[in-house]
Amino acid sequence: DISPLLKDPVAFRTLIDLLEDHVRASFPKIDFIAGECLDSRGFLIGPPLAQRLGIGFVPVRKKGKLPGPTESISYSLEYGKAELEIQSDAVEPGQKVVIVDDLLATGGTMRAACELLERLKAEILECLVIIELKALKGSEKLNSIPFYSLLQYD
């Protein structure tokens, strides 16, 4: 639960500072931050990070929430099925993207977001999260896509 972090402006600013420092140090050229908006938390982290980096933000949302033509994907969750969408013109082929979210658990949602961006032929530089639940092995679903988490719990 990142709610306490969101309520504390100093802590939230520090979080964005840490993420910004990591992205700047790791990727000299980046076009977009993409945020998973299934549960709204990636959406809370992505826009301020993108703004700090001087780049755009691309939402990846649950089905039916985005206007215009979209690409969608169905995927399995530990408790059922879900569907994600991205606008068909969200990125151009070859544009460099970092995907952010608050938590990586089983990895299904992050993998689905990666697949959507791959369909649009984006270059996914990294999947970036605040918290990783290592025992659930979600990062294994990301295959060869680089992954970084600020905090890890077993």
Percent of the chain whose predicted confidence (pLDDT) is above 90: 81
Q: How far apart are CA 95 and CA 80, in angstroms?
A: 32
The DSSP element (H or E) to which 47 belongs, if any, is helix 41-53
Q: Catalytic residue numbers? A: 41, 78
- Per-residue pLDDT, 39: 58
From 47, 93, 87, 80, select the one nearest 63 (Cα to Cα).
87
Query: Does this model's pTM top 0.75?
Result: yes
pLDDT per residue over 36-94, tens digit each?
Answer: 765 557 688 999 999 999 999 999 998 888 999 999 999 987 778 889 999 999 999 99
- Per-residue pLDDT, 2: 87
How far lies 43's CA from each of 11, 46, 80, in Å?
A: 17, 5, 22
Specify the 3-state DSSP secondary structure of 36: strand
CATH architecture group of domain 2-152 = 3-Layer(aba) Sandwich (3.40)
DSSP state, residue 49: H
Domain residue spans in the chain? 2-152
